[in-house]
Chains A and B, each alone.
Chain A
Amino acid sequence: MVTLTFWPLESSTSSTTSSVGICCVSCREKGLAAGIGSPAPSATHSGSGGPSRIIPARQLLPTCWALRRKLLKVSLPPSVGSCRTGMEAEQGEELVGKARGPTSTFTCSAAPQCLHPDRAPCAHGWLWFPCGWGSQGVHLCWSREREGAGDRGAALAALCIAGRRSGNDASYYQSAARNTETECCKLSTAGGRGQRWARVAAGRQPGQCHRGTKQGKRPRAAAPRLPACMYFSSCSLRCSTSAGGPELSREEKLQLRKEKKQQKKKKRNEKGTAAEPPEPGTAADPAQPRVTPHPASPPASANAPNDGEKPPGGKSKAELRAERRAKQEAERAQKQAKKAELGQGAAPAKPRLTPTEAPSVVKRLPEHVQVDDPAAQRKLAKKLERQQVPLRQDYGTKVNLFSHLHQYSRKKPLTQQMSIPSTVIHPAVVRLGLQYSQGIINGSNARCIALLEVFKQLIRDYSTPPNEELSRDLVAKLKPHISFLNQCRPLSVSMGNAIKFLKKEISCLPDTLREEEAKEKLQGTIDNYLREKIVLAAEAISKSAFEKINDNDVILVYGCSSLVNRTLCDAHTQTDRTFRVIVVDSRPRLEGRETLRRLVRHGIHCTYVMINAISYVLPEVSKVLLGAHALLANGSVMSRVGTSQIALVSKAYNVPVLVCCETYKFCERVQTDSFVSNELDDPDDLIVQRKGQAQLGGWAENKSLRLLNLVYDVTPPDLVDLVITDLGMIPCTSVPVVLRVKNVDQQ
Chain B
Amino acid sequence: MHRTVPSLPLAPSVKVKLINAGFQVASDLTDMRPLQLCKEAGISQEEAVEVLQMLRDDGQPHQQRAATESLTALDLLHQEQALGSIVTFCSALDNALGGGVPVGKTTEICGAPGVGKTQLCMQLAVDVQIPVCFGGLGGKALYIDTEGSFLVQRVVDMADAAVQHCTLLAEDTEQRQALEELTVEKILSNLFLVRCHDYVELLAEVYLLPDFISEHPEVRLVVIDSIAFPFRHDFEDLSQRTRLLNGLAQQLIQLATQHSLAVVLTNQMTTRVSNGQSKLVPALGESWGHAATQRLILHWEGLRRLASLYKSPSQMEATIQYQITVQGFRDAPEEPRPTSSSSAVSSPSENHSKRPRMEDLS
Chain A bound to chain B:
no
